Amino acid sequence: MPCPFMSRLSAQFVRHYSSALVRQYGEMCPVISSMTSTRAFNSLSSNKDPEGEKKCPFLNGKNLVKQASREVQEDVIDLSAREQELSLFPYNEFFQEQIAQKKADHSYRVFKKVARSASEFPRAKEYSWGYPTVPRGHEKLRIAPTPQHTPAMIDCFVADLITVWKDLGLPLWNSSCPEECTFCKKPLLFNALEARERCNADCDKPYCPLLVECL
């Protein structure tokens, strides 16, 4: 019995567009749909392997059971890298120790031995165990001499001052110098900076800081 649908189409059209007709209208045709379902079932049943369900094609040649590593079994942490780091020179500990030593002898930038007086600046109370041997920056500039000057410091100050004063062509005596001692308030008798004499006012200071103040 001819197909009522295919009989309406020409033989040339069916020959050229047969594949498109089967894809588009094959499910609606009872004959073609039954043929495709039967062919698909036969192909699946012929390719069925009873042992294929038990084996994976990707893991066929590999062993699924694997021994766990020592780190996983015993929860071991590898400390070889840390031991290698500890074998290097401990720079941090070394510098911390050096800074602590400098703080102990007050050669670091920690000023705890000087208490400045606000009413009589720059005078200060010195709590160190001895006299200072290194002049501070403002003392080196002859700005703020204190009673704690040592003779060596005074000699250094005055020698530098005389050299600079002579290089500038200025007189060694400056009329702006005070006429009395800063500490004992007695009149001063010296009139030349170059002499570097002791305080003529007979006070307890071995060297008068006014030798430095007279600029």
For the chain, the domains span 133-215
pLDDT tens per residue across span 165-212: 677 776 655 555 555 555 555 555 444 444 444 444 444 444 444 444
Choose between 75 and 40: higher pLDDT: 75
The pLDDT assigned to 137 comes to 53
pLDDT tens per residue across span 47-98: 555 555 556 666 666 666 677 776 677 766 666 656 555 567 888 899 889 8
Between the alpha carbon of residue 89 and those of residues 82, 84, 121, 133, the distances in Å are: 13, 11, 47, 36
Q: Which of 165, 166, 162, 125 is nearest to 146 (CA)?
A: 125
Percent of the chain clearing pLDDT 70 (strictly above):
34
Is the pTM here over 0.85, yes or no? no
Q: How far apart are CA 94 and CA 90, in angstroms?
A: 6
The pLDDT assigned to 191 comes to 42
**Mean pLDDT on 28-38:** 72
